């Protein structure tokens, strides 16, 4: 059991292709005023310094844009998440773009190097690209590849620069942090061939939204947790673009056919009850892209509040 919940704000958006994910935490704080003014008042936030000023500079590394800055973020996030866990607190990470999740995973492994970590990735995208395969060079599509220590050279399309390769290898670290067999996807529906080939090669499962609706949220949550039964720890990463575009209007890469708000909330409520849960992360809220005011953050807060309450009840 942890001592207390620790919110870690990581408002880096260096890995995204559009601007504004750095405002996600601010948007959630504004949403909380409508639903629960005590939420952030009672749960102080540690804010990790960002490198977002690098956005003013020209991109030097086309196959992994701003990778030097993202490597610096990995180091900071790894330190803060690792420290939080070592202090016996529960890290709730609210991040900008999804590249930050690679640093979160590194932090969990820093705190628990001997423990086997299972990852449940609730997302429209697989985020399995490397600089060798990425069609865009946006690093928010690469965090799981760093965790898996995976270059995916069988599906290589690019020849990254030496500096890119050096930073990439540093971000992967000396050892694999997550086994391919310890990764479970829910909601994937917008992936590229190199990612599909990698998932097929290792048999990494995904439950599509249509199947989740047919079988029910509870059955899918149970499947994910049972699939990872040999893992000592569970980390859940929730990208708001896993939700349908009727909900996820304020996010960088919305994809139709996703979860509805109620489905996402119920799914996460089921997942976070597992006693092995060691960290929860929510990412990619972008109020600048929200055509409906602050609706994306409001929906996200309506999901986050009960999820946090369950985490506090079950793990603290």
pLDDT value at position 146?
A: 98
The pLDDT of 266-289, averaged and rounded, is: 98
- Predicted confidence at residue 114, as pLDDT, reads 98
What are 164-175's pLDDT values in tens digits?
999 999 999 999
Domain count across the chain: 1
Q: What is the mean pLDDT of residues 101-106?
A: 98
CATH number, domain with residue 204: 3.40.800.10
Mean pLDDT of the chain: 97
Q: What are the pLDDT digits (tens) for 242-269?
A: 999 999 889 999 999 999 999 999 999 9
Give the pLDDT mean for 176-203: 98
Please write down the HEC assignment for all residues of 131-147: CCCCCCCCHHHCHHHHH
Per DSSP (E only), the strands in the chain are 5-10, 45-47, 90-95, 117-122, 183-186, 206-207, 233-239, 277-283
Return the ∠ at Cα 5 (arms to 47 and 260), rounded to 5°: 85
- Residue 48 belongs to domain spanning: 5-315
Q: Is the pLDDT of residue 294 over 90?
A: yes
How confident is residue 17, by pLDDT bands cut at 50, 70 and 90?
very high
Q: What is the mean pLDDT of residues 47-72?
A: 97
Q: Residue 2: pLDDT band by 50, 70, 90 thresholds?
A: confident
Angle between helices 295-315 and 261-271 (to 10 degrees): 20
- pTM score above 0.95: yes
pLDDT of residue 201: 98
Mean per-residue pLDDT, 132-154: 98
Residue whose C-alpha is closest to residue 273's, from 245, 217, 313: 313
The C-alpha atoms of residue 61 and residue 80 are separated, in whole angstroms, by: 27
Give yes or no for a contact between 50 and 44, defined as CB atoms under 8 angstroms apart.
Answer: no
- The rounded distance, in Å, linking the Cα atoms of 238 and 283 is 6
247 torsion bin: left (phi>0), alpha (psi -120 to 50), beta (else): alpha
């Amino acid at each position: 059991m942890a001592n207390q919940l620790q919110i870690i704000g990581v408002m880096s958006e260096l890995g995204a292709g559009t601007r504004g994910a750095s405002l996600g935490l601010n948007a959630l704080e504004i949403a909380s005023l409508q639903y629960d003014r005590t939420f952030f008042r009672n749960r102080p936030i540690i804010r990790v310094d960002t490198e977002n000023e690098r956005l003013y500079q020209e991109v030097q590394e086309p196959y992994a844009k701003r990778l030097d800055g993202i490597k610096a973020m990995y180091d900071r996030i790894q330190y803060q998440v690792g420290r939080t866990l070592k202090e016996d607190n529960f890290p709730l990470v609210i991040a900008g773009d999804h590249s930050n999740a690679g640093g979160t995973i590194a932090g969990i492994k820093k705190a628990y190097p001997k423990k086997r970590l299972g990852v449940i990735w609730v997302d429209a995208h697989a985020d399995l690209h490397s600089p060798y395969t990425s069609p865009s060079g946006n690093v928010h599509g690469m965090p799981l590849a760093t965790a898996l220590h995976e270059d995916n050279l069988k599906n290589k399309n690019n020849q990254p620069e030496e500096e890119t390769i050096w930073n990439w290898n540093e971000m992967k670290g000396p050892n694999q942090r997550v086994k391919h067999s310890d990764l479970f996807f829910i909601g994937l529906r917008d992936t590229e061939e190199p990612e599909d080939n990698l998932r097929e090669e290792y048999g990494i499962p995904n439950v599509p939204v249509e199947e989740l609706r047919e079988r029910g949220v509870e059955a899918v949550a149970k499947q994910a947790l049972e699939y990872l039964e040999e893992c000592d720890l569970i980390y859940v990463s929730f990208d708001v673009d896993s939700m349908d575009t009727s909900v996820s209007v304020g996010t960088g890469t919305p994809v139709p056919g996703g979860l509805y708000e109620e489905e996402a909330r119920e799914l996460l409520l089921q997942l976070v009850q597992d006693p092995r849960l060691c960290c929860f992360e929510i990412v990619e809220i972008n109020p600048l892209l929200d055509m409906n005011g602050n609706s994306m953050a409001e929906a996200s807060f309506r999901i986050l509040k009960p999820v946090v309450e369950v985490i506090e009840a079950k793990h603290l």
